Amino acid sequence: MGTCRLCGKRSIIISDVIGFCANCIREHPQETLKPISLIRYRERSSFGLPHKPPKGGNVRCSFCVNQCELNEGELGFCGRFVCKNGKIKINAPSPGLTALTFYHDPLPTNCVASWICPASTSEGYPEFTCTEGPEVGFKNLAVFYQSCNFDCFYCQNWHFRDKTTHRFYKSEDVVDAVDEKTNCICFFGGDPTPNILNSLDIAEKACNLKKEFLRICWETNGSVNWKFLERALSFAMKTGGCIKFDLKFFSKSLNLALCGTDNSWTLDNFKKAALLARKRPHPPLVIASTLLVPGYVDSYELEGLASIIASVNKDIPWSFLAFYPTFILNDLPTTSWDHAKLAERIAKKYGIKNINIGNVHLLSNSYKISP
Ligand SMILES: [Zn+2]
């Protein structure tokens, strides 16, 4: 049972780690964001990462929404870029290397899009898959980037922040892993956003292999500079792949509080991408997912996100994922069935047709949400 330090409300779905309820963060960002930033300061310092996007430096990085302004030797918020000799450079032992890991997953995988993509369904057959149904016997090449331009307190892959785990590879190393049984590549992490040029390079080299089926997909917070996202969309479009947008919050203040960044580029990019997706509805080019953080991704946030999706393209599939306590946000329960059903009702109310509740095994029975 947590207590909001501003309004005094007590509930099992208020986090004492955060210290404030969703309403107070939305309505009183001036009072709530500063104390929350101190939590982030402690967390980021332990990994040697800036606690907020640096501002006031001489050189601006334009890869993502953070638009870090760096002085000589200063690291960007994502830790992927550094200012060297007055230029934005990749922070790696030598040029051309990127901190990532890659591995094969047998298809069909548990990816966010699996309920609606050619790897597991008849979507996209026969143009983008050789099987009408699950691609049994084939593989996905998962490319996990060890950096991110968001800092979610509930990050499920938070270990990538530890630099001692970083491994560096060239694009060619990843492309060499594409074999005859590899039917798709998925870039995730961390996030592909700070690594977008590397992912586009891998995508291009992989397409040059001229495999009959090789779908290229990105799973992302969607906050990359649109000019790069447009190129990713074009690879996904022609290969039968997709862009999976993780729509975390509708309200900027909640995104700033729980994820450390502004969500305006995510929402703007999503709208543009969802419009483009009308050109290739099958298999879906753009897929939305939202992690149902108890108490924080509440009906207000879900209504806001639903209204955005519905305003551009009601055919965009939307998947709801269950939260489990992890990393900093370790004092909330798992998502309840009631919460998942609420999300589903809201999506339906806005006319969104393809809805999925993912990782249902994590959903908990209902709990009393207010005293
Ligand atoms: Zn409150």
Report how far ligand 1's centroid is from the alpha carbon of 209 (Å). 55
Q: How confident is the model at residue 110 (pLDDT cuts 50, 70, 90)?
A: confident
Average pLDDT over residues 124-129: 94
Partners of 2 in the β-ladder: 11
- Give pLDDT, residue 368: 57
Distance CA(199)–CA(336), nearest Å, equals 36
Beta strand 10-11 with 355-357: parallel, antiparallel or unpaired?
unpaired
Report how far ligand 1's centroid is from the alpha carbon of 5 (Å). 7
Distance CA(104)–CA(312), nearest Å, equals 35
- Give pLDDT, residue 365: 83
| For residue 164, pLDDT beyond 70 | yes
Report how far ligand 1's centroid is from the alpha carbon of 301 (Å). 16
CB atoms within 10 A of CB 42: 10
Partners of 82 in the β-ladder: 75, 89
Report how far ligand 1's centroid is from the alpha carbon of 143 (Å). 40
Question: Is-contact 262 64, C-beta < 8 A?
Answer: no
- Give pLDDT, residue 35: 98
CB atoms within 10 A of CB 60: 12
Report how far ligand 1's centroid is from the alpha carbon of 3 (Å). 8
Average pLDDT over residues 318-333: 97
| For residue 371, pLDDT beyond 60 | no
Q: Tokens 């509080």 sit at which residue? A: 257
* Tens digits of residue pLDDT in 11-57: 999 999 999 999 999 999 999 999 999 999 999 999 999 999 999 99
| For residue 216, pLDDT beyond 70 | yes
Tell me which residues have their CB within 5 A of the ion that is ligand 1. 4, 6-7, 21, 24
What value, to the nearest 5°, has the Cα angle with vertex 36 and ends 77 and 91? 10
- Give pLDDT, residue 369: 56
For the chain, domain boundaries: 98-362
Average pLDDT over residues 337-346: 96
Report how far ligand 1's centroid is from the alpha carbon of 292 (Å). 19
In terms of pLDDT, which residue wins out, 355 or 362? 355
| For residue 219, pLDDT beyond 60 | yes
* Tens digits of residue pLDDT in 258-275: 999 999 999 999 999 999
CATH architecture for the domain at 98-362: Alpha-Beta Barrel (3.20)
What does pLDDT average to over the chain?
A: 96
Partners of 292 in the β-ladder: 322
In three-state form (DSSP H/G/I as H, E/B as E, the rest C), the secondary structure along the chain is CEECCCCCCEECCCCCCCCCCHHHHHHCHHHHHHHHHHHHHHHHHHCCCCCCCCCCCCEECCCECCCCEECCCCECCCCCEEEECCEEEECCCCCCCEEEEEEEEECCCCCCCCCCCCCCCCCCCCCCCCCCCCCCCCEEEEEEECCCCCCCCCCCCHHHHCHHHCCEECHHHHHCCCCCCEEEEEEEECCCHHHHHHHHHHHHHHHCCCCCCCEEEEEECCCECHHHHHHHHHHHHHHCCCEEEECCCCCHHHHHHHHCCCCHHHHHHHHHHHHHHHHCCCCCCEEEEEEECCCCCCHHHHHHHHHHHHHHCCCCCEEEEECCCECCECCCCCCEHHHHHHHHHHHHHCCCCCEEECCHHHCECCCCCCC
